[in-house]
Amino acid sequence: MKKIKIALIGAGYIAEYHIRALQKIDAIEIAAIVARTEKSAQAFANKYKIENAFTRIEPILQDPSIEAVVLSTPNSLHAPHSIEFLKNGKDVFIEKPLATTAGEVEEIRKASEGTKKLVMVGHMWRFDEEAQYLKKTIESGKLGPIFKTKGYGIHVNWGPSGWFSDQQLAGGGALADMGVHAIDTVRFLLNDPKPVKVYARISTRFGDYDVDDTGIIVITWENGTESIIESGWWHPHMDGPEASTALFGTQGYANLFPTELKLKNGESMETISPQFPTKEEHCDQKIYDKQMAYFIECVKTRTQPVPGLEEGQVVLKIVDAAYASSTSGNAIDL
């Protein structure tokens, strides 16, 4: 059976998770790695036994045998690179966020529609077993209508450096890096409602850089639910780990990470603490394994991935509105 040939673009931290996931899939062949420097490209190729190592994307664009690419590059390269790959007949997986602005996603969409090629965005918490459990619980109606949520995307006493803290390369700071996890996770749990209003206060408190490292965002969804999202780097405390989400319903409460339910039982509350396999780390490799296996299955079956362009663009519309709201001091209608 012919294997699907894939190239990885970017050899940084997150690319390690992606390639470990890809190497577990028999149906593919990892054809090449592209990195910024020859040293990093060759080191990655040697580590994972990849035959071809490049410092430019042109060899991938010109190779018709490569069917798909996985982008793990600075955010500012997501749109221009993905558009080139789509125009040259490649399906594209893009590490979150999908681009630096919602407007850039429209350009990606045009390229995808023109070539009928697939685009998936790496909002990986949708593939977490605990998140999927809570989604089913909410859909069952046990919690009643959800009227309020709180979500977190915060690093405690730590923050990234390099391109992550450069506005031109990242498009934003902690909100674009960490807040997007919390935003997409609550959308997933609530069955992907559309946002109708965003209010935010965003600032830089901890570093000498031109991006944000703290933010509070309030989102009003079309179903009437209000969501509070907190983003940050270097904070002295966090109320929950990355993508942790609290959901308040009229009949109960649920929390993701740690995952538990509190349901009304007459005048008392019943606490349910479901048991899940232990993760080796919070952002566990198993989540990335499921995510990449799903992408490859979509490539094989020509099925539009979810999360894809639509889901990635909604997150960026919220991010764009949050930055605009913080600048103007007003809520932004979407």
- pLDDT tens, residue by residue, 287-310: 999 999 999 999 999 999 999 999
Tens of pLDDT along 148-191?
999 999 999 999 999 999 999 999 999 999 999 999 999 999 99
Residues of the chain with CATH 3.30.360.10: 126-280+315-333
Residues of the chain with CATH 3.40.50.720: 4-123+286-308
Give domain 4-123+286-308's CATH number out of 3.30.1330.50, 3.10.129.10, 3.40.50.720, 1.10.10.10: 3.40.50.720
Return the pLDDT at 152: 98
Summary mean pLDDT of the chain: 97
Identify the bridge partners of residue 215 per DSSP, sorted by sequence position: 202, 231
Return the pLDDT at 230: 98
Return the pLDDT at 2: 86
> Class of 126-280+315-333 per CATH?
alpha beta
CA distance 69 to 120: 11
Confidence of residue 1 (pLDDT cuts 50, 70, 90): confident
Tens of pLDDT along 83-116?
999 999 999 999 999 999 999 999 999 999 999 9
Inter-residue contact 321 to 332 (CB < 8 Å): yes
CA distances for 102 relative to 4, 79, 109, 153, 266, angstroms: 30, 10, 11, 20, 46
Closest CA to 174 of 200, 199, 153: 153
